[in-house]
Amino acid sequence: MIEPNGFKQHVVVTSLGRIVYYTAEGAPWQEPETADPKQLPSLVFLHGFGGGSSAYEWSKVYPAFATEYRILAPDLIGWGRSEHPERSYNIDDYITTIIEFIEQTCTEPTPVVASSLTAALTIRAAIARPELFKCLILTTPAGLSDFGENYTRSFFAQLVSTPILDRIIYSAGVANRAGIASFLENRQFARSSRIYEEIVDAYLESAQQPNAEYAALSFVRGDLCFDLSLYVPQLTTPTAVIWGEKSEFTGPEIGKRLAALNPNAIRVFQTLDDVGLTPQLELPAVTIGLIRRYLKLLDVKPGE
């Protein structure tokens, strides 16, 4: 994948395998005479799921915070440059490895920025281990089977559940340049004019990693989907939500319903006009501004 200037790869080992993550190291972020970057507060960025997903999804955003925070941007297990175990992935796999990653890299409650289905899984991780999370800033957090909807009954999920055919669909429709470009244009971005060659290259490199199909197919089959509305009322971590008005998978009305289930925890619900699933790639400057604002807002207790 493509790394911003001054960011280097590191590795932690989880119960499912190695997770590669990216953090600022050296120029232009730290000069030799400056303090150890580990003394900065940590800020974690977690990418969503889809053919070719990786930490690249946040790479136009997280460098803006590198002088104030110790940035930690992992490729989740089964994606990017992290290990790709040959298995069918399930919900607990990601809740567990998100928790393990934070346990191994952070020494105090940490703000976490996360996207789409991973954001929904991060809510569940924060419910399970609230002491690890200082606040959550989430873009389009949806379980994709919310309020009783069942994604696994969709035609595409049923199609991809067919053995042999699933691998053919992945290689022909996902793990090639035309498939990646089509998905970004038709399903992820509100405006195709915002898609440039580097984005396609980064998604394609991730999609073509050995065994990349295992995690991707688990996602499109619906193995990772769940009803987030059953969990939101249990959330206690201060949270802000950003939702693209033109999100192709789940519209903002679902997001508003989810936020209304727990206004004590979900303190902000912000929609963005003319934006799809990943505002961090479509409008990175706007996303940076909102994250910076919410980091301050969520650090204040209600009533202060």
CATH for 147: 3.40.50.1820
pLDDT of residue 29: 85
Does position 302 have pLDDT exceeding 70, yes or no?
no
At residue 191, the 3 state secondary structure works out as coil
Does position 153 have pLDDT exceeding 70, yes or no?
no
In a domain, 209, yes or no: yes
In a domain, 1, yes or no: no
- Can you tell me the mean pLDDT for 188-199? 96
In a domain, 302, yes or no: no
- Can you tell me the mean pLDDT for 259-265? 98
The total of structural domains in the chain comes to 1
Average pLDDT of the chain is 91
Percent of the chain with pLDDT over 70: 90
pLDDT of residue 173: 73
Does position 53 have pLDDT exceeding 70, yes or no?
yes
φ/ψ bin of 66: left (φ > 0), alpha (ψ from -120 to 50), beta (otherwise):
alpha
pLDDT of residue 51: 85
- Residue 56 corresponds to which tokens in the numbers above? 């690249």
pLDDT tens column, 102-151: 999 999 999 999 999 999 999 999 999 999 999 999 999 999 999 988 76
CA 269 and chain centroid, separation: 18
- Can you tell me the mean pLDDT for 205-211? 95
- Contact assessment for residue 77 and residue 21, using Cβ atoms and an 8 Å cutoff: no
In a domain, 304, yes or no: no
pLDDT confidence bin for 295, thresholds 50/70/90:
very high
pLDDT confidence bin for 27, thresholds 50/70/90:
confident
Does position 169 have pLDDT exceeding 80, yes or no?
no
In a domain, 82, yes or no: yes
Does position 15 have pLDDT exceeding 60, yes or no?
yes
What does the DSSP assignment read for 168-187? HHHHHHTSSHHHHHHHIIII
Of 152 and 194, more confident: 194
Give the DSSP letter of residue 255.
H
pLDDT confidence bin for 285, thresholds 50/70/90:
very high
pLDDT of residue 175: 82
- Can you tell me the mean pLDDT for 257-274? 97
State which amino acid sits at residue 292: R
- Contact assessment for residue 105 and residue 21, using Cβ atoms and an 8 Å cutoff: yes
pLDDT of residue 168: 74
Does position 166 have pLDDT exceeding 90, yes or no?
no
In a domain, 12, yes or no: yes
In a domain, 303, yes or no: no
Does position 278 have pLDDT exceeding 60, yes or no?
yes
pLDDT of residue 171: 76
- Residue 204 corresponds to which tokens in the numbers above? 């394609």
- Can you tell me the mean pLDDT for 251-258? 96
Give the DSSP letter of residue 54.
-
In a domain, 122, yes or no: yes
Alpha-carbon distance of 113 to 103, in angstroms, equals: 16
pLDDT of residue 35: 55
pLDDT of residue 304: 52
Of 253 and 167, more confident: 253
**Residue range(s) defining the domain that contains residue 136:** 7-297
pLDDT of residue 32: 59
CA 304 and chain centroid, separation: 31
Does position 39 have pLDDT exceeding 90, yes or no?
no
